Amino acid sequence: MRIVVCIKQVPDSAEVRINPETNTLIRDGVPTIINPYDMHALEAGLQIREKTGGKVTVLTMGPPQAETALREAIAMGADEAVLLTDRAFAGSDTWATAFTLSKAIEQIGADVILCGKQAIDGDTAQVGPEIAEFMDIPHISYIRKVVDVASDRLVVQRLMDDGFDLVESTLPVLLTAVKELNVPRLPSLKGKMAAKKAEIRKMSAADIKAGENDLGLKGSPTQVKNIFAPEAKKDRKVLEGTTEEKVDTLVKELVGLKCI
Amino acid sequence: MYIKVNRALCSGCEACLQSCPYDAIVMKDGKAVITELCQLCRACLSVCPEGAISEVKEASDTKETAQGKGVWVFAEQRDGKIAGVSLELLGAGRGLAQKLGAELSAVLFGGTADDAQELIRWGADKVFHCSDPLLSAFNDEPYAALLSKLIVEQKPEIVLTGATPIGRSFFPRVAAKLRAGLTADCTSLEIDAETKNLLQIRPAFGGNIMATIFCPHARPQMATVRPRVMKRGEHDPSRKGEVVSVSAKGIASRTKVVETVKEVSETAINLQDANIIVAGGRGMGGDKGFQLLYELAEVLGASVAASRAAVDEGWIPYRHQVGQTGKTVGPKLYIACGISGAVQHLVGMQSSDIIIAINKNPEAPIFSVATYGIVGDAHEIIPMLIRKIREAKGL
Ligand SMILES: Cc1cc2nc3c(=O)[nH]c(=O)nc-3n(C[C@H](O)[C@H](O)[C@H](O)COP(=O)(O)OP(=O)(O)OC[C@H]3O[C@@H](n4cnc5c(N)ncnc54)[C@H](O)[C@@H]3O)c2cc1C
Ligand SMILES: Nc1ncnc2c1ncn2[C@@H]1O[C@H](COP(=O)(O)O)[C@@H](O)[C@H]1O
């Protein structure tokens, strides 16, 4: 089985804050991590390999520093890593990102492609399904359990708002992972050694034979117009008095608002 | 277009470094340099005291905008029930269509002839309806293929759907195929008065900042919109419109839904439709604390929700989680008990009409969005609240 896992290096968004006075991000000391959902995708890829045999390739598109994320993935057990890096990829939105990744995956070759549900920096959840469309293969989002994998088909549980769907698909297929899927393993000592020595395969725009109009900013239909700080509500009222008085006031207000 | 630093003007003050949300500016030989991480958000332009950073236009920027006409709402149905967000989008879509002087259409896959009429009563001028059984249960491929085909034929200018598991899964395929711009999980939509472009506003970086996205050239402009942030329009039982029947001939699927399993309690399903929500966080301390919340919910006829911390503790299942990685809710009344109010939680509930916060820490950020704040111990306040509500109701 040829398994490709797409991972993205992201700032740990829990720690990103905005400075309300200057309207800018405070990113001092904000660490970069592998997108948490991609860790679940990688774990699923490793588990499939353990069952069916084969090879897990991790793939990322990003600046040269993204190599760190790939080495971490090798430490967890991935067999090989590909870094898509080129100035021509700069400014990619999800369309251009997915297009670029799909071209690389076509060269690597894949039966099962795994992505995270979404990347926590943008939360778009679009790159996975878009890769599938570009490659003209089916995809199943929000996988919470891999029920069965055979050489030409698989069955998974897809998490929905009110339960789950049991979905069957032909291969090749693209899956996106939610955190209920598994618990990602820790890197092993052997893995860490391998990560140090591993050779990271680099691919450029020329390597994936893509034209500049489909890449980076030029290939991106969407643009960011501006960014700003979210507004805070103004009509706040902290209730005063003893606990009993506060509760009395609250109940009175709720009756007035017809909530009771 | 790209962003350029004029090296002669750059004083090396580093003011721009902090302004960049994408970490795309680095110092090299004492001067700022824009790297390939740049997303062209323009945040750095205004912060440079020397005016050394500017945007440079290119020939490709004046590319002609593709033509399109009309606003479309993809109306989602599951088990024959139209999603609430679809009706909200018909309300919002009406406003957009009016500003553009265009028609508002709905697209319905599966569902009955009466469902199609219902969409007209909620504001659609026209409904494209495909009643083929292939589309009654959701599968990404046939949904994406048929919607793409319709869009190519009819050329709408704007296509919207709910940011639900279904919408967020198959809309990207449509956008990929049509080379359209797609913005996920919008919380506000506006029409740019000058260019008539759709301005799509959404949270980014876990809700720490908001971004306005637009598609200068590509059409249609596509977006998924969070449930419960837009208001429904009027339901007019006498409204008339046109229903266009759509065939699914030639559409196939390589994925198949073998079985659909429901596993949620009524209260969790209803979270997004609930009028009143009682939510608990880590401050509730455990199962006993949540028992209090269920009691409060019962006297108020409310549903129970939780912060991620409470879900991670195992006090309540994930489906009750509100926030960035949970549900977005917008009830009339949201009572947050022992919840600190991290941005990731706030993005999921701050559009509620009235917010009550009960927290023993007066500095908790939840108070900044609270209509009524009570500083104190939830374990003392909630039992008292339950008693007083019972009294007020004459129970
Ligand atoms: C990528 C990402 C996604 C996330 N998504 C979500 C999400 O969808 N939803 C979500 O909720 N969070 C989410 N989080 C987590 C979020 O950052 C917070 O950690 C979480 O919301 C905290 O939950 P809490 O307020 O219950 O707990 P805490 O922050 O621990 O707050 C507990 C509060 O209870 C108060 N308290 C304690 N005892 C009492 C008492 N006896 N009476 C009254 N008050 C008391 C304390 O003063 C404190 O303010 C996400 C985080 C990340 C990184
Ligand atoms: N630059 C990238 N390189 C590799 N994988 C990516 C990249 N961007 C997104 N992905 C994958 O697509 C998923 C969804 O990302 P997004 O659409 O940005 O929310 C992520 O969880 C990754 O698996």
The CATH number assigned to the domain holding B318 equals 3.40.50.1220
Contact A224 B211 (CB under 8 A): yes
Q: Is the pLDDT of residue B262 over 90?
A: no
Average pLDDT over residues B308-337: 91
Query: What pLDDT score does A194 carry?
Result: 96
For residues B370 and B335, state if they share a domain: yes
Q: Report the C-alpha gap between A89 and A97 in whole angstroms.
A: 8
Contact A169 B255 (CB under 8 A): yes
User: Rounded to 5 degrees, what are φ and ψ at A91?
Assistant: 80, 15
Between residues B307 and A121, the one the model is more confident about? B307
Mean pLDDT of chain A: 91
Cα angle, residue B333 at apex, residues B327 and B336 outer, rounded to 5°: 65
Q: Is the pLDDT of residue A161 over 80?
A: no
Distance A159 CA to ligand 1 centre (A): 24
User: Does residue B134 lie in a domain region?
Assistant: yes
Query: What pLDDT score does A26 carry?
Result: 65
- Chain A residues lying within 8 Å of B39, measured CB to CB: 91, 224
Q: Which letter does DSSP use for residue A239 in this model?
A: -
- The pTM of this model reads 0.81
Q: By percentage, how much of chain A surpasses pLDDT 90?
A: 71
Task: At A203, list the tokens.
Answer: 């691919």
Average pLDDT over residues A174-203: 96
Query: What pLDDT score does A13 carry?
Result: 65
Q: Report the C-alpha gap between A223 and A195 in whole angstroms.
A: 36
For residues B120 and B227, state if they share a domain: yes
- Is B198 within 8 Å of B182 (Cβ atoms)? no
For residues B312 and B337, state if they share a domain: yes
Nearest to B309 by CA among B350, B274, B334, B345: B345
Domain residues for the domain of B197 are: 64-245
Q: Provide the H-helix boundaries in chain A.
A: 36-52, 67-76, 94-108, 127-135, 189-197, 243-256
**Cβ B18 under 6 angstroms from ligand 1:** no
Q: Is the pLDDT of residue B272 over 70?
A: yes
- Is B194 within 8 Å of B167 (Cβ atoms)? no
pLDDT in tens, B333-381: 999 999 999 988 998 898 888 999 999 999 999 998 999 999 999 999 9
Q: By percentage, how much of chain B surpasses pLDDT 70?
A: 95
Q: By percentage, how much of chain A surpasses pLDDT 70?
A: 92
Mean pLDDT of chain B: 90
pLDDT in tens, B122-176: 999 999 999 999 899 899 999 999 999 999 999 999 999 999 999 999 999 999 9
pLDDT in tens, B96-110: 999 999 999 999 999
Distance A30 CA to ligand 2 centre (A): 20
For residues B97 and B225, state if they share a domain: yes
Beta bridge partners of B222: B159, B182
Strand order across the A153-160 sheet: A201-203, A80-84, A55-61, A2-6, A112-116, A173-177, A139-149, A153-160, A163-170, B255-262
Query: What pLDDT score does A129 carry?
Result: 98
Report the domain count for chain B.
Answer: 3
- Residue A3, classified by CB atoms within 10 Å of its CB into exposed (0-12), middle (13-18) or buried (19+), is buried
For residues B181 and B74, state if they share a domain: yes
List all residues 6 or more positions away from A137 whose beta carbon is below 8 Å from its beta carbon.
A113, A172, A173, A174, B254
Helix, strand or coil, per DSSP, at residue B386: helix
Boundary (domain end) residue, out of B210, B245, B280:
B245
- pLDDT band at residue B273 under the 50/70/90 scheme: confident
Q: Is the pLDDT of residue A220 over 80?
A: yes
Boundary (domain end) residue, out of B245, B279, B296:
B245
- Is B34 within 8 Å of B7 (Cβ atoms)? no
Boundary (domain end) residue, out of B211, B245, B279:
B245
Task: At A44, list the tokens.
Answer: 């699923």
- Chain B residues lying within 8 Å of A163, measured CB to CB: 260-264
- Is B148 within 8 Å of B248 (Cβ atoms)? no
User: Rounded to 5 degrees, what are φ and ψ at B45?
Assistant: -55, -45
User: Does residue B34 lie in a domain region?
Assistant: yes
Distance B166 CA to ligand 1 centre (A): 28
The CATH number assigned to the domain holding B96 equals 3.40.50.620
Contact A223 B185 (CB under 8 A): no
The CATH number assigned to the domain holding B24 equals 3.30.70.20
User: Does residue B118 lie in a domain region?
Assistant: yes
Between residues B148 and B206, the one the model is more confident about? B148
User: Does residue B254 lie in a domain region?
Assistant: no
The amino acid that residue B132 corresponds to is D
For residues B50 and B76, state if they share a domain: no
Q: Is the pLDDT of residue B266 over 70?
A: no
- pLDDT band at residue A88 under the 50/70/90 scheme: very high
Q: Which residue is it, tokens 């450029």? A: A204
pLDDT in tens, A66-79: 999 999 999 999 99
Chain B residue with minimal CA distance to A123?
B204
User: Does residue B256 lie in a domain region?
Assistant: no
**Cβ A99 under 6 angstroms from ligand 2:** no
For residues B229 and B278, state if they share a domain: no
Query: What pLDDT score does B64 carry?
Result: 63
User: Does residue B130 lie in a domain region?
Assistant: yes
For residues B197 and B313, state if they share a domain: no
Length in residues, chain A: 260
- pLDDT band at residue B59 under the 50/70/90 scheme: low
For residues B45 and B81, state if they share a domain: no
Query: What pLDDT score does B154 carry?
Result: 94
Contact A129 B140 (CB under 8 A): yes
Q: How far is CA B72 from CA A237, B20, B193, B311, in A?
A: 41, 35, 20, 37
For residues B123 and B40, state if they share a domain: no
Atom of ligand 1 nearest to the CA of B306: 11
For residues B337 and B316, state if they share a domain: yes
For residues B22 and B141, state if they share a domain: no
Q: Is the pLDDT of residue B259 over 70?
A: yes
pLDDT in tens, A12-43: 766 666 666 655 666 666 788 999 999 999 99
